[in-house]
Amino acid sequence: HAPSSLMSRTARPYRITFFIGLMALQAAMSLNGIAQTRDELVREDRRKITDEGFWIYNDLPKAFATAKQTGKPILVVLRCIPCHECVKLDDDLVDKDPTIRPLLNQFVCVRQVSTNGLDLELFQYDTDQSFAVFILNADGTVYGRFGTRSHRTDWLGDVSLDGLAEALKGSLTLHRNYPRNRAQVVGKRGGKPEVTSPEKYPSLKDKFTNQLNYSGDVSKSCIHCHQIGDAQRSFYWNSGKPIPENILFPYPHPKILGLILDPKKKATVESVLPESIAANSGLRTGDIIELIAGQSPLSIADVQWVLHQAPATGGNIPLSVKRNNQLIVVSLKLPPAWRQLGDLSWRATSWAYRRMLTGGMRLTELVSEKRKQLNLDENQMALQVQHLGQYNAHAAAKRAGLRKGDILIGYDGRTDLKTESQLFTHSINRHKPGDKVPVTALREGKKREFTIPIQP
């Protein structure tokens, strides 16, 4: 998708501040000769938002109380202020389509900039994002989610202003019909998590409290979204328990099934890849998903929520789709191990896996031309070391003798692990901290043997 999917109307004279662009803050601070620390960015954001008075700032209890008084639904934006990756999204959303503001006026709008004390039974989402939207009733019913990501820095193809507007409109319809439509939204809340709020995870409890510390370095007191995912995985890994596959491969993107949804519309099929799971399930371009697993989806994120709840072993997910003004029922047929079609390497939490499983190596698939030069079959494992950690646990591979540019052709006796994700999955299912894993690598065309540790 071209950038116009986000920016098609930004030349219009009407401006609103849906999110504050971090780069704009940095530019203003630079002009005044002020140091651009993370702490100052958080404080400046708080001042600006509270001065404007439109958004409730980091106060969910106030938002729920206001919603009960006004009868409005709640719009919660989870947004990490110092995150330089979601700036790329924010910059595109500073100048707004004028249709957005009238929609926002119909919500109690909350800007949540930290996850300290966050109710994890209510707010369940893909924590590898730094931007996520929840739309709720005052009684805690979740109408829907917005915001997704399938690449570390590229948001195009996943979100758009048009898609946000459609999600807001759809949630207002759900709100008007609530509670008569309770059956369509009851499944949008999950079960009980391992802990009730992030700071209660073992790996976080001695480092953070349930609120930000504005009397000190506030940015260092903040629990970032990805730290929840890290803590959740550590909860299992460091207790010797296998990491469940829905935690290892969370919130599967529909595109791994060959299902490409239009980011500008509400759960509408833009295309279906030939011979894919979506194609074999009977989905077609132009289908509008009215119900998925009995739930009314507002966005790609809602479809991901349903996929996140689906069994790792596969099964059928019922869908009602509108096709040529007719309602048709199909089933999304998930095969065994379908989650493993996803790519873990773009996720922030992949760095934790690299520490745990590869001694700090970041691995990428060797290109076909290079494979031919080394006489490596296309089915042979060939993962090149693109980055080698230099410090602490991330330097374990370096200490073992591996170098940047080495090509792994064997790991733990396996020669068929063709992607970093496959290597992660194999190792997590087979090993625990303290184990030693043999690694075979090519360096200047010669085989070399190494041993790397599996780490906490």
Residue 191 has pLDDT above 80, yes or no: yes
Sorted by sequence, the CB contacts under 8 Å of residue 392 that are 6+ apart come out as none
| % of residues, the chain, pLDDT over 90 | 73
Residue 395 has pLDDT above 80, yes or no: yes
Check residue 161 and give its pLDDT.
86
Q: How confident is the model at residue 23 (pLDDT cuts 50, 70, 90)?
A: very low
More confident residue, 250 or 23: 250
Q: How confident is the model at residue 56 (pLDDT cuts 50, 70, 90)?
A: very high
Q: How confident is the model at residue 86 (pLDDT cuts 50, 70, 90)?
A: very low
**What's the mean pLDDT in 77-89?**
60
More confident residue, 402 or 82: 402
Residue 303 has pLDDT above 80, yes or no: yes
Check residue 155 and give its pLDDT.
66
Q: Is the dihedral of CA 394, 252, 84, 123 positive or negative?
A: negative
**What's the mean pLDDT in 406-415?**
98
Name beta bridge partners: 79. 131
Q: How confident is the model at residue 29 (pLDDT cuts 50, 70, 90)?
A: very low
Give pLDDT tens digits for 305-333: 999 999 999 999 999 999 999 999 999 99
Q: Is the dihedral of CA 130, 134, 140, 143 positive or negative?
A: negative
Among 194, 193, 190, smallest CA distance to 141 is for 190
Contact 199, 210 (CB under 8 A): yes
Which element (helix H / strand E) includes 246? helix 245-248
Q: Is the dihedral of CA 168, 115, 302, 343 positive or negative?
A: positive
387 phi, psi to nearest 5 deg? -145, 145
* C-alpha 97, offset from chain centre: 25
Among 450, 375, 381, smallest CA distance to 417 is for 381
Check residue 13 and give its pLDDT.
32
Check residue 212 and give its pLDDT.
93
Contact 55, 109 (CB under 8 A): yes
Q: How confident is the model at residue 410 (pLDDT cuts 50, 70, 90)?
A: very high
Give residue 35's identity as a one-letter amino acid code.
A
Residue 365 has pLDDT above 70, yes or no: yes
Q: Round to whole Å and give the CA distance between 259 and 269.
A: 7
Q: Round to whole Å and give the CA distance between 247 and 232.
A: 8
Give pLDDT tens digits for 148-185: 887 766 667 788 889 999 999 999 999 999 999 999 99
Contact 153, 97 (CB under 8 A): no
Q: Round to whole Å and give the CA distance between 134 and 64.
A: 13
Among 349, 366, 159, 358, smallest CA distance to 264 is for 159
Give pLDDT tens digits for 123-137: 999 999 877 999 999
Over its C-alpha atoms, the chain yields an Rg (Å, rounded) of: 23
Check residue 312 and give its pLDDT.
93
Q: Round to whole Å and give the CA distance between 407 and 419.
A: 12
Taking phi over 0 as left and psi of -120 to 50 as alpha, with beta for the rest, 204 belongs to alpha
- Average per-residue pLDDT for the chain: 88
Residue 53 has pLDDT above 50, yes or no: yes
Check residue 39 and give its pLDDT.
84
Check residue 154 and give its pLDDT.
65
Contact 428, 417 (CB under 8 A): no
